[in-house]
């Protein structure tokens, strides 16, 4: 208990060090609780389950499985499209056809294919940002190089513009976005990509982010890079897109087969301590805690959940 109270005190010190007025100077905290310790000692109430309607499961022909949490609060029309596409088996015959180093892996039909399932909106609105009204935002507490403020909403890393009352999902490692052609096209949701390198935050507010990979990243990030422009595989050079066996919504899977996950609640006190720990690594390895952390290096904890 003393341990936790002490960490709470340190957290206040961290907030003071990140005042948004004046020249920002990191205020390193010695002895902050290690992030892994925060997770290990968290309470069940510090976590929220991921609903089967918001969980997309992609199985590749080579055995790889990627689990994606969808974000209907940020891109409702795109997410509804993706649920319908999955339900209709849209991605049968599709593949991972583009892997660009330090950028994205992309999948879908590429050249198009099949009849659009009923109810799928061909031209969704530009769900690139949304009003902050109604959102509970946990501020990161450290500067961001892309947004006036960075923080977390219900498990999602976001950029916000308090002046405009706007928030958007950040292109962190594992973020899943909707491929599109040139503006003002927003993409139907049939072509998706995941970030596999340094967060390309310049894509924020320019593309519909619909979720993030919560398990299985290596099945995308460790693939051979395509040698074509933008990392597209060049089939005539023997580079082979990996076929997709299926992309299913967990809600459409037999209950016994459904994977189940939970995400740390970013409005919990445990998460606040986790962020402080990420910003002030210590233990026997680190000499100097940073006193700051990038939005995309916080890595909101996700874990498997015993079936209910």
Min CB(142)–a second copy separation in Å: 4
Min CB(156)–a second copy separation in Å: 16
Nearer to a second copy, 36 or 49 (CB): 36
Min CB(207)–a second copy separation in Å: 9
Q: Are 97 and 241 in contact (CB under 8 A)?
A: yes
Min CB(139)–a second copy separation in Å: 12
Tell me which residues touch a second copy (CB under 8 A): 20-26, 99, 101-102, 126, 128, 140, 142-148, 163, 172-174, 182-184, 197-202, 204-206, 217-218, 221-225, 278-279, 281, 284-297
Interatomic CA distance for residues 161 and 148, integer angstroms: 6
Nearer to a second copy, 19 or 51 (CB): 19
Nearer to a second copy, 196 or 263 (CB): 196
Strand partners, 273: none
Interatomic CA distance for residues 265 and 301, integer angstroms: 9
Which residues lie closer than 8 Å to 156 by C-beta, 6 or more apart?
71, 74, 169, 212, 266, 300
Nearer to a second copy, 92 or 299 (CB): 299
Torsional class of 260: left (φ above 0), alpha (ψ -120 to 50), beta (otherwise): beta
Nearer to a second copy, 89 or 143 (CB): 143
* Secondary-structure breakdown of the chain: helix, strand, coil percentages, each rounded to the nearest 5: 25, 25, 50
Min CB(235)–a second copy separation in Å: 18
């Amino acid at each position: 208990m003393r341990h936790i109270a002490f960490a709470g005190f340190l957290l206040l010190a961290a907030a003071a060090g990140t005042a948004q007025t004046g020249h920002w100077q990191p205020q390193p905290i010695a002895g902050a609780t290690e992030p892994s310790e925060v997770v290990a000692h968290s309470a069940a109430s510090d976590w929220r389950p991921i609903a089967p309607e918001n969980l997309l499961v992609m199985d590749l022909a080579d055995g790889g499985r990627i689990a994606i949490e969808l974000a209907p609060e940020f891109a409702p029309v795109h997410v509804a499209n993706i649920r319908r596409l999955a339900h209709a088996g849209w991605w049968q015959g599709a593949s991972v056809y583009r892997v660009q180093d330090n950028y994205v892996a992309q999948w879908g039909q590429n050249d198009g294919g099949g009849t659009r399932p009923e109810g799928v909106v061909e031209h969704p609105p530009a769900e690139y940002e949304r009003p902050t009204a109604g959102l509970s935002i946990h501020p990161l507490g450290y500067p961001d190089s892309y947004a006036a403020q960075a923080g977390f909403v219900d498990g999602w890393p976001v950029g916000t513009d308090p002046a405009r009352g706007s928030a958007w999902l950040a292109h962190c490692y594992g973020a899943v976005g909707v491929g599109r052609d040139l503006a003002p096209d927003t993409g139907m949701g049939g072509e998706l990509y995941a970030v596999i390198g340094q967060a390309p935050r310049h894509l924020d507010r320019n593309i519909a982010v619909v979720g993030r990979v919560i398990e299985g990243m290596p099945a995308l990030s460790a693939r051979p890079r395509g040698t074509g422009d933008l990392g597209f595989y060049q089939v005539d050079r023997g580079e082979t897109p990996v076929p997709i066996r299926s992309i299913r919504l967990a809600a459409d899977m037999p209950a016994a087969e459904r994977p189940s996950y939970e995400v740390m609640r970013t409005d919990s006190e445990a998460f606040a301590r986790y962020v402080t720990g990420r910003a002030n690594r210590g233990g026997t390895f680190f000499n100097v805690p940073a006193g700051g952390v990038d939005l995309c290096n916080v890595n909101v904890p996700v874990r498997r959940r015993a079936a209910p």
